[in-house]
Amino acid sequence: MDVPSIILAAAAIAISSLYLGKLLVRRLKFTRQLAKLPGPMALPLVGTTYLVFFVPMNGILKFMGERIKEFYPIWCTWAGPYPEVNLIKAEHIEKILSGTKHTEKSFLYTFLYPWLGTGLLTSSGNKWHTHRKIITPTFHFKILDNFMEVFSEKSEILVDKLQGKADGKTFDIFPYITRCALDIICETAMGTEIHAQEDVNSEYVRAVYDISEIFMSRVLKPWLHPDLIFYRTRKGRRFAECLGILHGFTKRVIAERKVALSGVAGTNSESSEEDHLIGKKRRKAFLDLLLEVSEQGGRLSDEEIREEVDTFMFEGHDTTAASMSWIILMLALHPEVQEKVSAELDSIFQSSERAATPRDLSEMKYLEQVVKETLRLYPSVPFIQRTASEDVRLDEYCIPAGATFTLQIYFAHRNPESFPDPEQFDPDNFLPERVQGRHPYAYIPFSAGPRNCIGQKFALLEEKIVLSSILRKFKISSTQKIEDIKLLPELVLRPEGGVRVSLAPREPLRA
């Protein structure tokens, strides 16, 4: 080797060494700052995940509850080499969610990219901001009012299906609610009917459930984080199979809607006159609105539209189905609360069989309290994560930029500092005077701040209509004990084994 080559090689080695040394120093400073936080001992490669290697999924929340008692109110865990700073105090959560600094999701959300891409749930930076601005008008209250007809139609089908179960015998109502929610979201999000309530073995529902379970399993096993390993496992292959089902369905519907909308545009005046004559009103789906925006400004590609529709399909059916199922269980276990809701509905509808109107929904104040209290105890999304964009001071600790914050919504909602009797189901927690005196970040079932859930009004409207439709027809009972129900904290918080209730026809209450 000649002298110039030796000099170049030496220079390259020196520069590489300096760079690696700088990274090492930075990493040491990073870990030393985090080491000041309470938390269990971390091991090389696996971090603190070794603690849950043999904990079943239905025991994770109980395990975490024990850690909270030990390390409250802030502690650090490690998912392999990735630190997670766990928060449950409202004041700490507010610092992370309230501003525009810490809006980026954590590394673990990249495991959802193959399914949801970088839609509103997973994107960050300019793409998130641009898409949020484009999509927000599609959730205007006037557009949501147009969806009420869909909510009522699908609720009527659900009630018809439940009529055959109103014999006092115990059954699992969760699948019925899920199929109703899927019917609703398919028509409102994509403008297509899939008749999920007629198909008890929906391939789409099964794929969503499997992906959710596989995601959490992967998160808790650092050796499955690399794609090279994950997709060679049985679960990785099933994940890929589910992607084919979910993406195939969405892409097919998008293609069909584009063709249908181009046809509608060409015969718009004729169609409008025909619709007027037969008394039928055309409803625009979420997908239609996105396609219109794309046609007008060319700002959304077909792939970006697919990402947003997939995101809305998941967040708009799985979360609401879980929420409504928990609410039904709470009403079954608290007959005195159910009676108050039934009395409220009787006062609104009297003996009428008519569908609910926007005014009716605004009068369902006690039912809304029940919905909110159930979401307090059983939030559809039990935790969310953010990445620190800069150093953050929380009490006496300085959390370095790059660390992940895990906002433990399930436990934040059960913090006795915010809710004095946190395990007790009490809809009066959401009386106006109690809400007014509570920290605004003590209750965040739809997240909070600039990245709050864009569909929370949609969800509340849907839940009120579906639940009121059921409660106007049936009395719900259950012999389950809440302490015996195992919780599955996957992408969505579900009860293991479903929600087992019995139904009986209900006679309207008389004044």
∠ Cα 333 58 184 (to 5°):
60
* Sign of the alpha-carbon dihedral angle for 318, 324, 328, 333: positive
pLDDT band at 141 (very low <50, low <70, confident <90, very high): low
Share of the chain above pLDDT 90, in %: 52
pLDDT at position 510 over 60? no
Condensed to tens digits (0 to 9), the pLDDT of residues 49-75 reads 999 988 998 999 999 999 999 999 999
279 pLDDT exceeds 70? no
pLDDT at 264 over 50: yes
Rounded to an integer, the average pLDDT of 154-173 is 94
What pLDDT was estimated at residue 406? 95
What does the alpha-carbon distance between residue 384 and residue 121 come to, in Å, rounded to a whole number?
11
Mean pLDDT of 339-358: 93
pLDDT at 113: 92
Inform me whether the pLDDT recorded for 494 exceeds 80: yes
Q: Residue 223: is its pLDDT beyond 60?
A: yes
The pLDDT, as a whole number, for residue 169 is 93
Q: Give yes or no for a contact between 190 and 257, defined as CB atoms under 8 angstroms apart.
A: yes
Neighbours of 449 (CB within 10 A): 17
Q: What share of the chain is helix, strand, coil (3-state, %, to 5)?
A: 60, 10, 30
In this predicted structure, the answer to whether residue 304 has a pLDDT above a threshold of 90 is no
pLDDT band at residue 284 using 50, 70 and 90 as cut-offs: confident
**How far apart, in Å, are the Cα atoms of 402 and each of 117, 211, 274?**
22, 27, 58
Q: What is the pLDDT of residue 275?
A: 45
pLDDT given for residue 245 in this prediction: 93
Mean pLDDT of 20-35: 71
Q: What is the rounded CA–CA span in Å between residue 352 and residue 473?
A: 12
Report the largest interatomic distance among the alpha carbons of the chain, rounded to a whole angstrom.
103
Q: Could you tell me the pLDDT band of residue 121, with boundaries at 50, 70 and 90?
A: confident
Check residue 313 and give its pLDDT: 83
Task: Single out the residue of 76, 75, 109, 55 nearest to residue 225, CA to CA.
Answer: 109
> Which residue type does 369 have?
Q
Mean pLDDT of 177-192: 89
Identify the pLDDT of residue 86: 96
Q: Please name the amino acid found at residue 3.
A: V
Band (259; pLDDT cuts 50, 70, 90): confident
Lookup: tokens for 259: 């063709």
Instruction: Find out whether 135 and 308 touch, Cβ atoms under 8 Å.
Output: yes
Cis amide bond preceding 508, omega within 30: no
- pLDDT of the residue at 119: 84
Give this prediction's pTM.
Answer: 0.88
The stretch 391-415 carries a mean pLDDT of: 94
Give the pLDDT score at 385. 92
CA-CA distance, 24 to 26, in Å (whole number)?
5
What's the pLDDT at 364? 97
3-state SS, one letter per residue, for 94-118: HHHHCCCCCCCCCHHHHHHHHHHCC
Residue 476 has pLDDT above 90, yes or no: yes
Q: For the beta carbon of residue 44, count every other beta carbon within 10 angstroms.
A: 7
Residue with tokens 């997973």: 122
Q: What percent of the chain has pLDDT over 70?
A: 89
Reported as a pLDDT band with limits 50, 70 and 90, residue 272 is very low
Residue 196 confidence class, pLDDT cut points 50, 70, 90: confident
Please state the separation of Cα 393 from the chain's center in Å. Answer: 28
Query: What would the mean pLDDT of 432-436 be, rounded to a whole number?
Result: 94
Ordered domains of the chain (ranges, CATH) = 51-505 (1.10.630.10)
Predicted confidence band at 22 (pLDDT cuts at 50, 70, 90)? low
Write down the mean pLDDT value for the chain. Answer: 86
d(C-alpha 444, C-alpha 27), whole Å: 33
> Residue 280: what pLDDT?
44
**Per-residue pLDDT band at 27 (split at 50, 70, 90):** low
- Both structure tokens of 183: 């019917």
What average pLDDT score do residues 310-325 get?
89
Confidence (pLDDT) at 12: 64
Instruction: Say yes or no to pLDDT of 23 above 90.
Output: no
Q: Where are the alpha helices (DSSP H) in 267-355?
A: 268-278, 286-297, 302-333, 335-349
What is the pLDDT, as a whole number, of residue 74?
95
- Specify whether the backbone of 447 is left (phi greater than 0), alpha (psi in -120 to 50) or beta: left
pLDDT > 70? residue 361: yes
